[in-house]
């Protein structure tokens, strides 16, 4: 009986928070309308999360938030970074609240030991979702970097061949940049646009490295700008060396991805184990209570 009362009190507490957030969610309709719906599924419900942020009087000056802001700068640009940091937290709180509320409701319906199991699942799954979404920007950046590195060694190799054949770096870069619509080549066309607008090759490459924000591209940009500053006499040789280095790094990345893929299998296996455990424990606990 005492366990059922505790579960009911938890449900009431979460229900009150949910009701307050839902009543205030309309105040954030402008925020919700501004969200990129292609990147944030279920954004129409994020008003609940925005209300939760204000309810908690969340501090956006902590070190952990600054780290997420740095990631948002890479994904959305410095201009929109603060907004999308709030969107990420709104997304996280929305899904955590909805999940915990649903689990606690089921816990009260089930009652007894089975209900206690659902309370435990609510805590574990809520914590897992919280961590998953707050790490989602980092995961997107990692995926973006992998996409860039898939194409960058070949792009640099082609630029090296063109420059070694007598073409200026500016023209060689342009020829490669317009050869594909993959994300890397879109960023490379940004360099062409910068140079057409009067930005120097060095500054354009620096901006390119900041937009892509991968250590390999940053290192490439630094090495090439140093070659340009030294009269460009060894630019072709530098590009060839960079192409070889990037190909080796791409091979290492492929090997690491293979290891990560095997590790990721542990998560679904763990979920299956928990599901089987629940299916076994619920009937046992039901018989014990009877």
If we measure between CA atoms, which residue out of 246, 229, 219 comes closest to residue 159? Answer: 246
Q: For the chain (length 290 residues), average pLDDT per consecutive 10?
A: 78 91 92 88 92 91 88 86 94 94 86 79 89 91 87 91 89 92 92 92 90 86 87 80 86 68 62 66 59
Tokens of 79: 């201009």
Greatest pairwise CA separation for the chain in angstroms: 87
pLDDT the model gives residue 53: 94
* Contact of 239 with 247, CB cutoff 8 Å: no
If we measure between CA atoms, which residue out of 26, 136, 137 comes closest to residue 80? Answer: 137
Domains of the chain: 16-134 (no CATH), 142-260 (1.20.81.30)
Tokens of 283: 């009937």
Please provide residue 220's backbone torsions phi and psi, each rounded to the nearest 5 degrees: -60, -45
pLDDT the model gives residue 267: 60
pTM here is 0.76
User: Among all chains, which residue has been given the structure tokens 């805590």?
Assistant: 123
Instruction: Find the angle CA(184)-CA(187)-CA(190) to the nearest 5 degrees.
Output: 155
* Contact of 129 with 92, CB cutoff 8 Å: yes
pLDDT the model gives residue 175: 93
If we measure between CA atoms, which residue out of 237, 199, 238 comes closest to residue 222? Answer: 238
pLDDT the model gives residue 93: 95
User: Among all chains, which residue has been given the structure tokens 């607008």?
Assistant: 197
* Contact of 86 with 50, CB cutoff 8 Å: yes
User: Among all chains, which residue has been given the structure tokens 């009067």?
Assistant: 198
DSSP for the chain? -HHHHHHHHHHHHHHHHHHHHHHHGGGGHHHHHHS-TTTSTTGGGTHHHHHHHHHHT--TTSHHHHHHHHHHHHHH-GGGHHHHHHHHHHHHHHHHHHHHHHHHHHHHHH-HHHHHHHHHHHHHHHHHHHHHHHTHHHHHHHHHHHHHHHHHHHHHHHHHHHHHTT--HHHHHHHHHTT--SHHHHHHHHHHHHHHTT--HHHHHHHHHHHH--HHHHHHHHHHHHHHHTTTTTHHHHHHHHHHHHHHHHHHHHHHHHHHHHHHTHHHHHHHHHHHHHHHHHHHHHHHH-
Q: What is the C-alpha end-to-end distance of the chain, expressed in Å?
A: 14
Q: What b/e string do you get for 214-245 counting C-beta neighbours within 10 Å, with b at 16 or more?
A: bebbeebbeebbebbeeeeeebbebbbebbeb
């Amino acid at each position: 009986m005492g366990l059922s009362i505790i579960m009911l009190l938890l449900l009431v507490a979460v229900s009150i928070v949910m009701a307050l957030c839902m009543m205030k969610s309309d105040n954030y309709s402008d925020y919700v309308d501004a969200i990129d719906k292609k990147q944030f599924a279920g954004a129409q419900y994020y008003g609940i999360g925005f209300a939760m942020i204000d309810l908690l009087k969340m501090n956006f000056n902590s070190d952990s938030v600054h780290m997420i802001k740095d990631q948002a700068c890479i994904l959305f640009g410095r201009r929109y970074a603060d907004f999308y940091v709030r969107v990420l937290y709104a997304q996280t709180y929305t899904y955590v609240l909805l999940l915990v509320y649903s689990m606690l409701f089921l816990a009260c319906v089930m009652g007894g030991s089975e209900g206690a199991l659902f309370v435990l699942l609510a805590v574990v799954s809520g914590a897992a979702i919280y961590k998953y979404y707050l790490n989602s920007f980092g995961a997107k950046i990692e995926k973006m970097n992998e996409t860039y590195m898939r194409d960058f060694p070949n792009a640099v190799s082609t630029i090296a061949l063109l420059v070694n054949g007598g073409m200026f770096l500016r023209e060689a870069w342009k020829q490669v940049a317009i050869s594909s619509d993959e994300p890397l080549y879109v960023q490379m066309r940004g360099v062409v646009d910068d140079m057409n607008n009067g930005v120097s090759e060095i500054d354009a490459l620096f901006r390119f490295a900041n937009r892509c924000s991968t250590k390999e591209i940053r290192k490439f940009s630094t090495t090439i700008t140093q070659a340009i500053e030294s009269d460009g006499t060894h630019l072709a040789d530098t590009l060839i060396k960079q192409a070889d280095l990037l190909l080796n790094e791409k091979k290492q990345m492929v090997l690491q991805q293979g290891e990560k893929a095997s590790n990721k299998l542990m998560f679904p296996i763990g979920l299956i184990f928990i599901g089987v455990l629940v299916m076994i424990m619920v009937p046992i606990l039901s018989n014990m209570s009877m």
